[in-house]
Structure 1
Amino acid sequence: MVKGLTLDRIAITKGGVPLVALDRHIAPGQVLTVMGPSGVGKSTLLSVVTGTLPNAFACTGRVLLDGRDITRLPPHDRRVGILFQDDLLFPHLSVGANLMFGLAPGGDRAARRARVAQALEEVDLAGFADRDPATLSGGQKARVALMRMLLADPCTLLLDEAFGRLDTVLRAQVREMVFARARARALPVLMVTHDAADAEAAGGDVVTLGN
């Protein structure tokens, strides 16, 4: 079994017009950065991996995750984690309840609370379980969103301009935290971004669309 994320001869078209063509393998713990101007198809590529490609687009090729062909699986069966520019925390839930949402349903309540507490401690937010997300800073919200996604035990991580709303200093801190967690969990990472500094920090291969 080949571990990692494989984009096997992916070709995306819209109205018959070629948009994206990519044939790449991302090994566990590695990052592939996709860059290019707005509208070139970066987020559309991610939607192929998540299984949410809009009907206006067509795609050929296969998506393989740890050797498993997930091309035609529904999104909830793919074990793909994604972080967006917005943290998308549920405002009506506490920080702890937001993290609980990442866990699979069922199981022992005490064990679930312990996993949430451990996740918060991992990102220096111990004791924050009862906090209202509205009281958190931008960096704290980003950390909670990351851990909520990781608690779902994904096999790959997608980053859709995930650091775009953070200021320069905070962007560097959150970016390093995300990459470090991905490496620690041996997750292949597919990142789309406008920022060359993101690509440099990732340290992996870079593909530029729209050339």
Structure 2
Amino acid sequence: MAEGLVLDHVILRRGGDLLLTLDARVAPGEVLTVMGRSGSGKSTLLSAIIGQLDPAFTLEGRILLNGTDLTRRPAEARQVGILFQDDLLFPHLSVAGNLGFGLPRALRGAARSTRIEAALQEVELAGYGPRDPATLSGGQKARVALMRMLLAEPRALLLDEPFSRLDAGLRAQIRALVLARAQARGLPVLLVTHDAEDARAAGGRVVTLG
């Protein structure tokens, strides 16, 4: 069984037009960076991997994760986490409520609270559980979004330019945090970015589309 994320002769088309082809394997703890101009298919590739491909596009080939073929599985059954440019925190929930959204519903009471507080401590936000997300800085929101995603225990991580809205100093800090947490959990990571510094920091292979 091939561990990690495998893009097995993946071909994406828009109508009858070829958008991209990609054949790659991302091992646990590794990062594959995908770069390319706007319209080259980077975000469409991520949509295909998470199972939310727009009907205007067609997919050929297979997407496998730890030997399991995900190609025809519904999005909720894929166990693939994704971080976007925007943190997408729920404004009607507290910080703790946002983190709890990533946990299994069966986990309740003290055990649930303990998991949430441990997640906050991991990203140096201990005691922030009752806070309104609107009161957080950009970097704090990014940390909460990261931990909410990790609490759902994904088996792979997709990064859709999640650092692009942060200033240079904070960008480096949050990028290092995200990559370190993914590596510690042995997650294969696919990073989409326009920024060459992101690719250098990730340290893995780089594929340029188009």
TM-score, with structure 1 as normaliser:
0.99
Q: Deviations over 1:58-106 (max 9, x none)?
A: 0100000011011111000000000000000001100000000001112
1:20 Cα shift?
Answer: 0.9
Match of 2:191 in 1: 191
Match of 1:113 in 2: 113
Match of 2:165 in 1: 165
Match of 1:23 in 2: 23
Q: Deviations over 1:174-200 (max 9, x none)?
A: 000000000000000001000000000
Give SS of 1:130's match: coil
How many Å separate the matches in 2 of 1:99 and 1:155? 18
Percent identical among aligned pairs is 65
Equivalence map 1:46-85=2 (5 Å): 46-85=46-85
How many Å separate the matches in 2 of 1:86 and 1:109? 30
1:108 Cα shift?
Answer: 2.8
Aligned length: 210
1:107 Cα shift?
Answer: 2.5
1:50 Cα shift?
Answer: 0.2
Give SS of 2:12's match: strand
- The residue identity in structure 2 corresponding to 1:205 is R
Match of 2:32 in 1: 32
Give SS of 2:102's match: coil
Match of 1:145 in 2: 145
1:110 Cα shift?
Answer: 1.0
Give SS of 2:107's match: coil
How many Å separate the matches in 2 of 1:62 and 1:105? 31
How many Å separate the matches in 1 of 2:101 and 2:29? 25
1:2 Cα shift?
Answer: 1.7
Q: Does 1:180 align with 2:176?
A: no
1:147 Cα shift?
Answer: 0.1
Q: Deviations over 1:24-62 (max 9, x none)?
A: 000000000000111110000001100000000001000
Give SS of 2:99's match: helix
1:10 Cα shift?
Answer: 0.2
Give SS of 1:73's match: coil
1:15 Cα shift?
Answer: 1.2
How many Å separate the matches in 2 of 1:108 and 1:139? 29
TM-score, with structure 2 as normaliser:
0.99
Match of 1:134 in 2: 134
Where structure 2 has 5 or more consecutive residues not aligned to the other structure, the ranges are none
Runs of 4+ in 1 over 6 A off after TM superposition: none
How many Å separate the matches in 2 of 1:133 and 1:177? 20
Q: Does 1:94 align with 2:86?
A: no
Give SS of 2:6's match: strand
1:3 Cα shift?
Answer: 1.2
